Amino acid sequence: MKVFVTGATGFVGRSVAARLIEDGHDVRCLVRHEESDEAAYLRGLGAKLSMGDILDAGTFIHAVKGSQALIHLVGIIFERRGASFHEIHVHGTMNALAAAATNKVERFVYMSALGTGPEAKSVYHQTKWEAEAAVRSSNIPYTIFRPSTIFGAESELFQMLFGQVRRLPFVPVIGDGRYRMQPIAVGDVAACFSNCIDNGKAAGKTYELGGPEALSYNEVIDIICRVMGRRRRKLHSPVSLVKPVAWLSERMQGKPMLTTDQLTMLLNDNVCDITAMRAELRVEPVGLEAGLREMLHPE
Ligand SMILES: NC(=O)c1ccc[n+]([C@@H]2O[C@H](COP(=O)([O-])OP(=O)(O)OC[C@H]3O[C@@H](n4cnc5c(N)ncnc54)[C@H](OP(=O)(O)O)[C@@H]3O)[C@@H](O)[C@H]2O)c1
């Protein structure tokens, strides 16, 4: 199929583009910076590139012409001047939907996030919910994915955790560390995208994506330490102490270490039922420990 991908230069997008090409699809990606290493990587895979910005539909609407599916991955985890959650998640998705409608795309696949819903507490999740509503109310056949935390060699979260385990005598943990997540490998997420675009069962569906096990943050740290062969104590810090740090970080740092929105998300369980993912998308996800071992110590 001819597939247009937004957000292909990102952590998840690079894997999605690679998997689509491996599965024989003809891939065109929306790219903001033609000379970037990520654009070069996509070119090297065999993808075609179109320059444009999701906030400016005029820059890419014609590039979608001829595409049968549009995979919309663009999303942000913290706000910047000129790129609020509302602008990127809601307006950006409406622009992508407009491009899909104009070009009569047969499947629109939207990358949402686990934890979204009408009662979501974080602005990140609230705006993902608004974007989902726009997708559902469009007349374009759609599939929506809501993944839990995604792991991979290029995940910023996991790179930070590897760095902490490598360099520090203890691993910092916010609060009691009992809040849970269901980490899924980026390759498994990419497989879900590739397996859904021409899958009739996936039309009009919203899938929660996760790995095979729900793990507390403490357990995730234990797994990382085991895989890296390091013994580390955990240093738990009270949430009440971390909150002002997050508040300051999002106001003072261009790329915040932690925001209050991220703190809200982290402290809420992020686990799901993956029965539909297994049955309809035919993806059997790898567990965190096996996935990290394969990543850090490939045979
Ligand atoms: N990573 C996770 O654990 C996780 C979990 C659940 C859901 N998600 C969702 O998955 C999606 C991808 O996440 P990720 O981790 O791959 O993020 P990422 O590495 O930060 O990638 C974000 C992508 O969006 C693009 N982008 C941002 N603003 C844009 C704009 N104005 N116009 C065009 N492109 C723009 C970036 O392009 P540039 O390269 O030009 O900056 C990049 O390709 C997001 O929607 C995220 O919310 C991620």
Q: Please give the CATH number for the structural domain made up of 2-148+185-210+271-286.
A: 3.40.50.720
- In this predicted structure, the answer to whether residue 269 has a pLDDT above a threshold of 90 is yes
pLDDT tens column, 77-101:
999 888 999 999 999 999 999 999 9
The one-character DSSP state at 142 is E
Neighbours of 12 (CB within 10 A): 22
The pick from 38, 42, 55, 74 for probing ligand 1's pocket by mutation, whose C-beta has the most ligand atoms within 8 angstroms, reads: 74
The pick from 12, 19, 54, 186 for probing ligand 1's pocket by mutation, whose C-beta has the most ligand atoms within 8 angstroms, reads: 12
pTM: 0.97
Q: What is the pLDDT of residue 57?
A: 92
Computed over every residue of the chain, the mean pLDDT equals: 96
Joined together, the tokens standing for residue 171 give 């691993």
The one-character DSSP state at 24 is T
Q: Which residues line ligand 1 (CB under 6 A)?
A: 6-7, 9-13, 30, 32-33, 38, 53-55, 73-76, 88, 111, 113, 147, 149-150
Nearest CA to ligand 1 atom 8: 113
The one-character DSSP state at 64 is G
pLDDT tens column, 106-153:
999 999 999 999 999 999 999 999 999 999 999 999 999 999 999 999
- In this predicted structure, the answer to whether residue 299 has a pLDDT above a threshold of 80 is no
User: What is the distance between the alpha carbons of residues 145 and 128, in angstroms, rounded to a whole number?
Assistant: 11
The model's confidence at residue 200, banded by pLDDT at 50, 70 and 90, is very high
- In this predicted structure, the answer to whether residue 267 has a pLDDT above a threshold of 80 is yes
**Overall average pLDDT of the 46-60 stretch:** 96
